[in-house]
Amino acid sequence: MAIINQATKELQVKIVYYGPAMGGKTTNLVQVHDHVQTAAGNKGKLVSLATSSDRTLFFDFLPIEAMSIKGFKTKFQLYTVPGQVIYNTTRQLVLRGVDGIVFVADSQYEKMAENVESFTNMEENLKTLKLNLADIPYVLQYNKRDLPNVAPVEYLEFLLNNREVQVPSFGSTAHRCEGVFETLNMITRMLLNKFIRQGTPQYA
Amino acid sequence: MATLPQLIEEDIERLDYELRELLEKTDASTALIIDKGGFLITSQGDSRQFDLTTIAALASGADMANQTIANLVHETNFNSVYQQGEKHSMFVLCIDEQCMLTVIFKASLSVGAIKYFSLPAAQHIALQLKIAQQRDPGSGLDLSELNLADTSDLFKRKG
């Protein structure tokens, strides 16, 4: 969970990008890394623990600092999980200490079953960590909207956002950086609002 | 998941003192206290030649993987891990359920000394964390100084 260091006035928050394999989670982080506007020195290196064919093996990691928060040095740590089904143990590990989640769905029709499976898997993995999705801020990103065979947003909403409380969702074309910052800003706002409202994240 | 207590300046000073003592006794380069979720809590020593934020994230990931391997070989816990390099080596020791101590040191140094002095340091750190917990177990945090100057654009795209 988030670390608040009152001594050094630092707030550290962990956001995990989750979703099916090849859905664009790593691309989101690459685009944030390439395009984020920062004051000097507050964008970290993007670290990818990937296979030789650029498939995420363990996680990608990008530390960045938001520009417009005063009073605390606010550091966001962005992680992705490996989407491939076989790496479930790794996904559980990366979710440890998560504060907010971006679920990156693949908008193509043929990927709908994988989207639903991945979403269910996310809920199950959170349960193993004694976490409940309803208690964690999360947003949905419907990626690859530029492809010809995409399902309508309404259909994706029906599959993934058909709940008592609907969460914000964004269409995106991550490789063109469309929808990437909108998604990141929304999950960040949700997290900060939760912290301010509850006043009880964790420690330090 | 259990969480750390809220630490105040006095706690951080004590943790830093323990790390400085450890570095002095061992000649190690850098010592870090890392939250197992991947956050760097505090560090002492050389912070210029190492990217400590990334080391914290990766060390916690490696630790989590090691604990999973421990379970697979019917161990409850691998309490410490030593990674040997040619120039620098690293020793990771579990402090408590939430934190771990990571020591980076020149490969020419004896790992025995690092292990020997790291153990009491980890115990002292664990004790300070316990004191913090007992001080105010249900304490929330003070975010009164947090000010969202422009909530519509926390992260801006260049150009």
pLDDT digits (tens, 9 = 90+) for B66-105: 888 898 899 988 899 999 999 999 999 999 988 999 999 9
> B9-135 architecture in CATH?
2-Layer Sandwich (3.30)
pLDDT score recorded for residue A177? 95
**Per-window interface: A 105-124 vs B, CB < 8 A:** none
Q: Are B157 and A37 in contact (CB under 8 A)?
A: yes
Q: Quick: pLDDT tens for A2-26.
A: 777 777 777 888 999 999 999 999 9
ipTM confidence score: 0.75
C-beta of residue B98 within 8 angstroms of C-beta of residue B2? yes
In angstroms, what is the C-alpha Rg of chain A? 16
Q: CA of B3: which chain A residue's CA is closest?
A: A202
Model pLDDT, residue A49: 80
Q: Is A196 helix (H, G, I), strand (E, B) or coil?
A: helix
Distance of CA B85 to the CA centre of its chain: 20
Token duo for residue A81: 């999980």
More confident of the two residues A144 and B142: A144
Where are the domains positioned within chain A? 11-198
Quote the tokens at residue A113.
């079953």
Please give the model's pTM, rounded to 2 decimal places: 0.86
pLDDT at A201: 46
The answer to whether the Cβ–Cβ distance between A67 and B140 falls below 8 Å is no
Contacts of A199 in chain B (CB under 8 A): 140-143
At residue B2 the predicted structure's pLDDT band, cuts being 50, 70 and 90, is: very low
* Residue A39 three-state SS: coil
Cross-chain Cβ contact A6/B7 below 8 Å: yes
Residue B6, φ and ψ in degrees, nearest 5 = -75, 130
CA B62, chain centre distance (Å)? 13
From A7, A93, A185, residue closest to B8, measured CB to CB: A7
Q: Cα separation of A104 and A172, whole Å?
A: 9
pLDDT band at B137 (very low <50, low <70, confident <90, very high): low
pLDDT in tens, B29-67: 999 999 888 889 999 998 888 999 889 988 988 888 888
- C-alpha A200: how far from its chain's center? 22
The 3-class secondary structure across A150-177, one letter per residue, is ECCHHHHHHHHCCCCCCCCEEECEHHHC
Q: Do B141 and A185 touch (CB under 8 A)?
A: no
Longest dimension (CA), chain B: 54
The residue with tokens 């105040």 is B8
Q: Which of B148, B152, B153 to mutate to test the interface with A (most CBs of A within 10 A)?
A: B148
How far apart are alpha carbons A135 and A100 in whole angstroms? Answer: 10
Q: Hey, what are B41's tokens? A: 């809590």
DSSP H/E element including A104: strand A100-106
Counted across chains A and B, CB pairs separated by less than 8 A come out at 170
B82-111 residues touching A, CB cutoff 8 A: none
Q: Does A32 touch chain B (CB under 8 A)?
A: yes
Strands A3-5 and B99-106: unpaired
Letter for the amino acid at B26? Answer: T
pLDDT value at position B77? Answer: 83
Nearest to B12 among A7, A74, A96 (CB): A7
Closest CA to B91 of B78, B82, B79: B82
Q: Which of A75, A94, A61 is nearest to A204 (CA)?
A: A75
d(CA A61, CA A88): 18
**Span B102-114, average pLDDT:** 95
- Do A103 and A139 form a contact (C-beta atoms < 8 A)? yes
> In whole angstroms, what is the distance from residue A150 CA to residue A148 CA?
6
* Residue stretches of chain A with pLDDT short of 50: 200-204
Assess whether pLDDT exceeds 70 at residue B136.
no
Chain A touched by B37 (CB under 8 Å): yes
User: What pLDDT score does B133 carry?
Assistant: 79
- CB-based contact B149 A181, cutoff 8 Å: no
Angle made by CA atoms A12, A202, B63, in degrees to the nearest 5: 70
**β-sheet with B88-94: strand ranges across:** B40-45, B30-35, B99-106, B88-94, B80-83
Q: How far apart are alpha carbons A182 and A31 in whole angstroms? A: 12
Pairing of strands A3-5, A10-18: antiparallel
- Contact flag A204-B4 (C-beta cutoff 8 Å): yes
Extents of the domains making up chain B: 9-135
Tell me what percent of the residues of chain B surpass a pLDDT of 70: 86
Radius of gyration in angstroms for the set of CA atoms belonging to chain B, rounded to a whole number: 17
Fold held by A11-198: Rossmann fold (3.40.50)
How high is the pLDDT of residue A68? 65
The answer to whether B146 contacts A202, with C-beta atoms less than 8 Å apart, is no
Residues of A in contact with B158 (CB under 8 A): 35-37
Amino acid at A2: A
Contacts of B3 in chain A (CB under 8 A): 1, 202-203
